[in-house]
Amino acid sequence: MISKADNELLTRTGPGTPMGEVLRRYWVPAVMSSEVAERDGPPVKVKLLGEELIAFRDTNGRVGVVAEKCPHRTVSLWLGRNEECGIRCVFHGWKFDVDGNCVDMPNEPPQFQFKDKVKLTSYPTVEMGDIVWAYMGPADRMPAPPAFELTQVPASHRLVSKTWEECNWLQALEGGVDTSHIGFLHHGLAHKTFGALKNDDPTSFRLRSQAPLIELDTTDYGYRYAGIRPLGEQGNYVRGYHFVMPWTQIRPTQATTKLSPTGERIPVWKTTIGGHFWVPMDDHNCMVWNWDYSFGEALDEDDRNDNSSGPKHVDAENNFRKRRNIDNNWMINRETQRGKTYTGIQGINTQDHAVQESMGPIMDRTIEHLGQTDRAIVVLRRLLLEAAKRVEDGGDPVGTGDGYYKIRGMEKMIEPGRDWRDELLPLMYQTSAAAE
């Protein structure tokens, strides 16, 4: 439970707000590279931290993220012509490059030109990992490039998608860092779906031990944490995660099962890493970026098709809105809920979004009751509040360095009596990054 004032501070992210100033100190995932793949192609509308923007790729391949409204008469530049290294307003022909410079003002007589005095808001961009990132903060505080390991593997080893979630960014993020819900929301009736589950079936671990112990260490990028599920003589099933300020979770791609040639369901321990970015569009909406990558072999068709943000679930032509959404009650099927799945809702991401969106546009944290399994949420809020104070005092928030470049989420069965840190941390760090 937190105060009303802190809840307000944490959830408001528009220009000039304390949390908005914090979030603008990081590289912001803006659009997928595929959305602006074509040079001189159509611009794309983008809403970030309460600002209405457009993105476009110019003739030379540079991507601009600029204010949507033309500074002449506030016409939307989404209507504009993307031509010869600039976006041209269709109303009077004013043209702007990716840096926001007005490079042409054809409706003004030469003696009255003032294009050198007009500047369109623009943000620096970098393109990494099939994502165009924008930096919206002070130029002299630009952080290290967002070189997550995701961005360094070949495209054949990576899958990136996104989904519009219709609630405040923080409750979506908090739902993501919560690990105890997995055995309920996503796998609660797995025994009815799959039949009898064996002791070595990863899904059974979450059902047999539904109250994980949460252990957490703060770091120079945020924190690492583990959900520890005791399984008696079999040991502890441990899932190790990272939270990277301000909106990133890195997790192991969930171990799962597949059918053998004889029809037997067998466990599969994947060698891929997954994660999310929860990026505010405005105070009542966020864009959830979903990604997986392999640090071994290239992703196969099964990996690419097992995507709950794919076309079956998300309408990319409608700003990546879920097909099962709050307007149609997420297409919940009560019969399926009664006899087959815990929620009656299709899609892992849709299940997550349904419970988070059901809290309202901005949840009231003054009436909640948190427990031990909510520890990652408690520390997350503390880090964000501390970041707001640091920025207000003229400092830098944590997570603006490069300490997260080679971290991975990993999971493992740990023998009884063994410390998970001894066995899992060497797998979770590919550099010398260490806890504070």
What Rg, from alpha-carbon coordinates, does the chain have? 23
Residue 232 CB contacts under 8 Å (≥ 6 apart), including other chains? none
Single-letter residue type at 337:
Q
pLDDT of residue 268: 62
pLDDT at 265: 63
pLDDT, tens only, 344-366: 999 999 999 999 999 999 999 99
Residue type, 264: E
- CATH 3.40.50.300, domain 29-141, yes or no: no
Angstrom distance (rounded) from CA 158 to CA 294: 7
Find, among 167, 162, 129, the residue nearest to 148 by Cα: 129
Closest C-alpha to 276, from 311, 305, 314, 243: 243
CB 80 within 8 A of CB 97: no
**Ranges 177-186, 189-198, 415-424: which has the least confidence:** 189-198
pLDDT of residue 199: 72
Could you give the CA distance from residue 279 to residue 258 in angstroms, rounded to a whole number? 33
Q: What is the DSSP letter of 154?
A: -
Given a contact cutoff of 8 angstroms between Cβ atoms, the answer to whether 249 and 176 are in contact is yes
Q: What is the mean pLDDT of the chain?
A: 92
For position 210, what pLDDT does the model report? 87
pLDDT tier at 303, thresholds 50, 70, 90? confident
**DSSP tag of 253:** P
Q: Could you read off the pLDDT of 249-288 as tens digits, one per residue? A: 999 876 566 667 777 666 666 678 999 999 999 999 999 9
What is the Cα–Cα distance from 1 to 366, expressed in whole angstroms?
5
Distance between CA atoms of residues 149 and 242, nearest Å? 13
Gap between the Cα atoms of 22 and 13, Å rounded = 9
Taking residue 139's Cβ as centre, other Cβ atoms within 10 Å add up to: 7
Per-residue pLDDT tens over the stretch 199-253: 777 777 878 888 999 999 999 999 999 999 999 999 999 999 999 999 999 998 7
Which pLDDT does position 433 carry in this prediction? Answer: 39
Domain range summary for the chain, segments of one domain joined by +:
29-141, 149-428
Which pLDDT score is estimated for 305? 73
Superfamily (CATH) of domain 149-428: Naphthalene 1,2-dioxygenase Alpha Subunit; Chain A, domain 1 (3.90.380.10)
Q: Is the pTM of this model over 0.85?
A: yes
